[in-house]
């Protein structure tokens, strides 16, 4: 019992570190390549566990509140699930990327096709954004990805993706349905009140599994940087540029709904769940695609830490939010 209390205390402390712990994951993952080698075979399982954590803590009251006024949620879902992939595809095709760098094109399109990360509501809450709106849009976007992902994969990727579009949709459905079943089952067994009492410890466990995922995909980043520093830096700049472009474009599109909602939806749209695509493809992706996915974690996990002061200032945290 004493050991369990110590473990729970350690997890709770880790969970209270919030955005700082999330940002540190990337640095530690790069600095410890042997851990990446150890964890790489566990990517699919790790993503599944992270999804279970997310479904276990879904705030159904907040979700139902937005569903009573579904207009904004439907518009945001259409943007992040349908229009974003079309924008990516138009840009990539216009630049001739499929011919010039098919593996980078594959990475960018899988990024665009992906739904937002399941941790987005928790990150939004840490920053001070409308987590309920983020949650509602996340659930609807995730629910339709088994339909949208195969469609866009068939339209734009074709033979570039080793997995058939139908198989991609089936695997996504299995991962999401299985994790939802486990997550909601745990919620029913333990009760929402008990889960909320242990929120910090659960956050700590979530961070540990996030670290396993980040370490796994960061396995070769240090070596690739030493071998081709300029190319690696260029990919990092590209990842940040796409992250910021999605964030700002989404904020502009939804600005009339209010600055807090616009920033929340911008943040959600920029947090693409590339890990889910890795899990669905079983990691059977070209080396350059893997490398871009790894480097694209920099803005995803550093973003909440970097955006927190800006969000507080923009939303006038000490006064009335607009």
Q: What is the pTM assigned to this prediction?
A: 0.78
Residue 282 zone, left/alpha/beta (φ > 0; ψ -120 to 50; rest) = left
Q: Does 142 have pLDDT greater than 60? A: yes
Interval 112-133 mean pLDDT = 79
**Pairwise CA distance, residues 265 & 72, whole Å:** 10
Q: What is the mean pLDDT of the chain?
A: 81
> What pLDDT digit, counting tens, does each position of 147-182 carry?
888 888 888 887 666 666 677 777 778 888 888 888
Q: What's residue 228's pLDDT?
A: 86
The residue that leads in pLDDT, 18 or 196, is 196
Using the CB atoms, write b or e for 248-279: b if 16+ within 10 Å: ebbbebbeebebbbbbbbbbbbbbbbbbbbbb
Interval 96-120 mean pLDDT = 88
Segments making up each domain of the chain, as ranges: 2-314
Select from 218, 269, 225 the least CA-distant residue to 244.
269
Q: What CATH number is given for 2-314 in this structure?
A: 1.20.1530.20
Q: What's residue 112's pLDDT?
A: 93
Q: What's residue 17's pLDDT?
A: 67
**Pairwise CA distance, residues 276 & 298, whole Å:** 17
Select from 203, 267, 160 the least CA-distant residue to 22.
203
**Pairwise CA distance, residues 217 & 293, whole Å:** 8
């Amino acid at each position: 019992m004493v050991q369990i209390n110590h473990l729970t205390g350690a997890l709770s402390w880790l969970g209270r570190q919030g955005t700082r712990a999330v940002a540190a994951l990337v640095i530690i993952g790069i600095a410890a390549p042997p851990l990446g080698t150890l964890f790489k075979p566990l990517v699919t399982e790790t993503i599944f566990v992270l999804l279970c954590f997310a479904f276990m803590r879904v705030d159904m009251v907040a979700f139902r509140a937005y569903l009573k006024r579904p207009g904004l949620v439907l518009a945001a879902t259409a943007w992040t699930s349908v229009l974003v992939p079309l924008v990516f595809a138009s840009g990539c095709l216009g630049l001739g990327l499929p011919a010039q760098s098919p593996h980078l094109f594959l990475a960018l399109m899988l990024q665009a096709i992906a739904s937002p990360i399941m941790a987005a509501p928790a990150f939004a809450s840490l920053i001070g954004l409308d987590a309920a709106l983020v949650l509602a849009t996340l659930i609807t976007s995730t629910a339709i990805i088994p339909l949208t992902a195969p469609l866009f994969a068939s339209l734009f990727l074709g033979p570039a993706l080793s997995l058939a579009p139908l198989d991609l949709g089936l695997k996504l459905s299995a991962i999401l349905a299985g994790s939802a079943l486990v997550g909601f089952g745990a919620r029913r067994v333990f009760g929402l009140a008990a889960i909320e009492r242990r929120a910090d410890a659960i956050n700590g466990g979530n961070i540990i599994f996030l670290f396993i995922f980040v370490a796994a995909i960061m396995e070769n980043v240090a070596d690739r940087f030493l071998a081709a520093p300029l190319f690696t830096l260029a990919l990092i700049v590209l990842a940040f540029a796409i992250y910021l472009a999605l964030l700002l474009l989404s904020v502009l599109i939804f600005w009339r709904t209010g600055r807090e909602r616009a920033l929340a939806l911008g943040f959600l749209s920029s947090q693409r769940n590339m890990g889910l695509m890795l899990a669905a493809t079983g990691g059977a992706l070209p080396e350059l695609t893997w490398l871009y996915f790894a480097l694209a974690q920099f803005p995803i996990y550093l973003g909440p830490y970097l955006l927190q002061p800006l969000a507080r200032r923009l939303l006038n945290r000490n006064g009335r939010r607009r």
